[in-house]
Structures are given as structure tokens and as C-alpha cells.
Chain A
């Protein structure tokens, strides 16, 4: 069995379904006329497990598409940049957080060069965002966070 698109997806569905099913059976099931909180989840997660198995079977039976190349750099850096934003926004504030997110996500591109033009551009953009979101739209976020006050 080749590790292809279908086998990974089938595995994903099956595993997620199993976990969901395991959790769902712990909720009271109830009857058809009086559905408990577990009724629908049990049905849906069972179907999900079955679908996952179906997709896995399909991956063995037919030759599906191979799993395409993963761009690990983008996959790790872009979400990481967003996480950094989340970590930074309260202690450091809006402006530094936006700056960090901007620079870190831009660094993912192969065309990124850490030169003064990029730095100035990033500062200008972060400044514009501050004006737009904090002043004009009025979002309740501190421009500089608790560490910097």
C-alpha cells in the first residue's frame, strides 16, 4: 500500500472519528424521542470512522494520487508567525506584534531579503495598521503592551 493522498486522509478521518467516538459514548445517549447530548455525536463520529475506513480501503484497492511534496518551510513558518503574533500581542502590544508577524511571515518567501528597504517598509506598514485599526476603527488593543509600558 502506497502512502498516498487517500491513505493519509483515510487515516485522518478514521483516527479523528475514533477519538470523537470514544469521547461521545461518555455522554448520555438518550432515546430517539429524547436525544441526549451523545446521540448525534455518536452517529456522526461512527460515520466518520466508517468513511475513514472506506477511504483507506480505496487507497489499497485503487492507485490514488501520490502525496505531493510538502513545503515544510511555509507550513511551519507562517503558522508560527501567527502564533508569535498571539504570544506577543498582550505583553508587547499591537505595533510590535504586527511587526513581528509581518517580518516572520515575509521571511518565508524565497524572495525575502533582510535589507533596510524591507525594514522601513515593515515599519511603515505596521504604523499604517496601527492608525487604521486602533485609531480609525477603534479596536480595543494596546499599541504597546504590558512589558513595554
Chain B
């Protein structure tokens, strides 16, 4: 199906009443979640995942996607107005955005963020529409060796980008792979690591682990600093950027979009890296670089464009290859698989309405967000003043209900509590859980592809190096690993990830 017909199909799918409504709900919820610190899109999507099982698959995915990119918008609102980044990727927006707000330019900063995000979202959506069919047809030539190498690249990228030491991230990834191996081995039927209990025969549910580590773990950790979050709320006056603003915003938005589009597609990278890189690039390249940190509008427009572009394009490897690039995408795959849809190159031919409907609804969602955010700024500001000690019991209730509802199994609830403890433990030892979550999904896939590749080649491991794509992927992975050793890259990585903490 060519792009034009695809987009038409997408439009008719995305504008049905149900899909439109759930798209709106998703972006609204996403913005709210983005505004609230202590509750992130991963925890929210994990919580809502079980509840989407009753929805048709395209509606479910549209809503969950809306939550994800909506949260990028929400995070920037509070970053600008209150110097409180709702999401990690909005940290960079606080630097110049809040400065602008202090100078009375809050409205213009918000507008810059919204316009940059919308432009980036549009470009991102177009990019998906154009590149996904290309990538899918390329992927049909992929064999197990290529997939295995891609998974290795994704895991290594997520380790390199995790804050903290590479060795720690490696350990987390390995631990995640181990967790993924719990259950029945598909090939031999052997029950692995089940400790004799039938509850583990199907393995650990990914949602249980994700909600435990991220949702509950965050709650426990946040209870440590219970000082009230009374942040000053900057006044919002004029929302329209001046002509000078437009001139200054244009190039940063373009550059930020470019960076975001590329980094979003790279498995293991994501919105956080995109926004930081865009800020760093802009600072180097801009004529007004002296103003960065003191209220340069470029410092708001570029990272905002980048993180929104990345939020769109990170769906590409997930949809076309079935390979999640980030933990959030792993959750999306979970939502698809439970509905019986297998993401991969086939998805464009077998489920065209799902794919194109999602693509178009992402653009519609961005449009809704553009108009939602600016008028509703006051509402979001009120939301953030809800004290955490009202919020977190509600979060606990939602995660518990959500996890129980997957299988009506209290075992899952107990497991989630256990992973909440583990999540807190990991925070305390300085280990970032993102590689763990990703590895839990990618690990079993890696084993499967490794096994198949070696089966076909009769145990000959050179098959990974004779295929050009596989070899290329492994070389990139090796380069990434080596770059860790270079002191200059280490400094950049530490600086960038330091700001995220």
C-alpha cells in the first residue's frame, strides 16, 4: 500500500469517534502525567496496559501512544512555569525556559515549546509514514543473525546511555535477561527457574515488573523527600511569539527535529538523549550562545522539538521490526502482543489500518496538544499543587488494581510488591533500571534468534560476521562500547546524564 492510500486509510481510522475520543483521553492524561512529577509515562502506561485489553487494538495503541507523547508536552509546561521538570527529558527545558518565565516571557516560552513540538511531531509523523514501509521491506530480508545483532546493539546502546557506570548497567541488563528466562522454554518445553511454582510457568509478566520497579519503586523513593513542593508560579501574559522570536526559533526547531528524528529511531536511545543532544548542539551552533542558560528561546525550542520528534520516531523500530528501543516501546509491544498482533515487517500488510491509523492519530494528537496546552496552562498549574501525600496512595491503588486485573492473580500482586522493593534497592545502589526492563523483553528474543541462527548454520558462529548488515550493526555496537573508554566521551556522557539526575 503506498503512502497516499495509507494516509487516507489512516485518516478514516483515526477519525472514528472511538479512536478520536481515546486519542484525546490519551493526550490529556499524558499531559497531566507529564505535569506531575513523581508519576511518569512508563508507570502510567504500565498501569493502564491491563485496562486496554478490552479495547480494540488500534484504539488501545492510539491511547497509549497519546499518553507517551502527551507527557513530553506536559513536562515542558511545568519546566517553564515552575522550574519543575515533570519528565526527565524536560530538565533541559528548565534551563532557559524558566529563565524566560522569570523575565516575563513565559507565554512566549510556552508557545515556543508548543510550536516546536508540533512542527517536530508533524515531521516525525511524515518520517514514519515514509520510512516505515521502506524499513519493513528491508526487514523482510533480515534473518535471525541480523535480528540478533540489532538486539545486541539496542542493549548496548541502552547500557551506554544509562547513567552510572557501564559495568553496573551491564549487570542490570544481564539480570533483566535472567528475569526474562523465567518460565517455560519455547523450544524444549523445559520449565526454567520456576522454583516449582505453577505461577511462574508463563514467566514473569513484564507489566508486573515494570509497574513494580518504576511505579511502586518511585513511590517508595519519593516518600523520602516529602517537603512540600511550593514552587513559584510564573505569570503567563502574552502567548504569541514576537517576530524576533519566530526568526530565532526557526533554525533551532529544524535542527532539533532532525536530531530527534534520528535519535528516536536508534534502538536504545530515546527522548532523553534527543533533548540533551539538541540543547548541546544548539548551544554550540547558535549565534546567541552566550544567552543560553539566561533565557534564550533557542534553548527551549530545540530540545522541545527534539524530544517530540524522538517520541514519534521511536515507534518505528517497534512497529516495523518488533524491536523495542526503549522500555516504553517494550510496553507498547506488550499491548500489541496481548491483542494477538505481532509487530514486525508484516504489520504493514496484515494490519494496515492499525499502522496507518496510529500514524495519523499521532499527528492529530499533536494538533490537539497544541491547542490544549496553551489555554489549559492554569489547570495544569493547579494540578501540580496537589500534595504528593494525596497522590501516592492513589497511585498505589491504581497499580495494584491494574496488576491484579491482568490475570486475577494475587501472585502477580505479591510479585509487584517484591519488585517495588527491588526498584527502591536499585535506586539506592545507583543502578538505573531501564536496561533491566529492556533486557527482560529483548533477552528471550535474543536467545531465540541466536538459537535459530546457529541452528541454520550448524553451530557456525561466523554467520554473524558474514552478513553485511549484521557485521555493520555489531561494529556500531563495538564502537559505542569503545567510545566509553575515550575520556572525552566519558565527560560528555557524565555531564549529560548528571543533569538528568
Contacts and interface: CB of A to CB of B under 8 A. Distances in A.
Interface in A107-124: 108-112
B385 interface: no
A141 interface: yes
Interface of B: 51, 54, 165, 167-168, 170-171, 174-175, 177-178, 181, 185, 187-188, 190, 192-193, 216, 219-220, 223-224, 226, 387-389, 392-394, 396-397, 399-401, 404-405, 408, 410, 413-414, 416-418, 420-421, 424-425, 428-431, 443, 447, 450-451, 454-455, 457-461
Nearest to A140: B408
A19 B408 CA distance: 30
What does DSSP make chain A's interface, helix, strand, loop or mixed? Answer: helix
A51 B428 contact: no
Given A44-B177, A52-B171, A58-B167, A82 B223 contact: no
Interface in A1-36: 5-6, 8-9, 12-13, 16-17, 20, 23-24, 27-28, 31-36
A46 B84 CA distance: 43
Given A36-B188, A137-B54, A140-B408, 16 more contacts: A23-B192, A27-B192, A32-B459, A37-B187, A37-B188, A51-B170, A78-B396, A79-B418, A82-B399, A82-B400, A85-B413, A86-B413, A86-B414, A105-B397, A109-B392, A139-B401
15 contacts: A9-B429, A12-B425, A16-B175, A27-B192, A33-B455, A34-B459, A35-B447, A35-B454, A40-B447, A65-B430, A71-B224, A78-B223, A82-B414, A102-B394, A109-B226
B229 to A, nearest CB: 13
Interface of A: 5-6, 8-9, 12-13, 16-17, 20, 23-24, 27-28, 31-37, 39-41, 44-45, 47-48, 51-52, 54-55, 58, 65, 67-68, 70-71, 74-75, 78-83, 85-87, 89-90, 98, 101-103, 105-106, 108-112, 125, 129, 133, 137-141
Contacts of B417: 79-80, 82-83, 86
B247 to A, nearest CB: 46
What does DSSP make chain B's interface, helix, strand, loop or mixed? Answer: helix
B161 to A, nearest CB: 18
Contact of A133 (B223, B401, B430, B460): B401
Contacts of A33: 454-455, 457-460
Contacts of A40: 181, 447, 450-451
A140 B170 CA distance: 41
B168 A9 contact: yes
Contact of A54 (B51, B167, B459): B167
Nearest to A80: B417
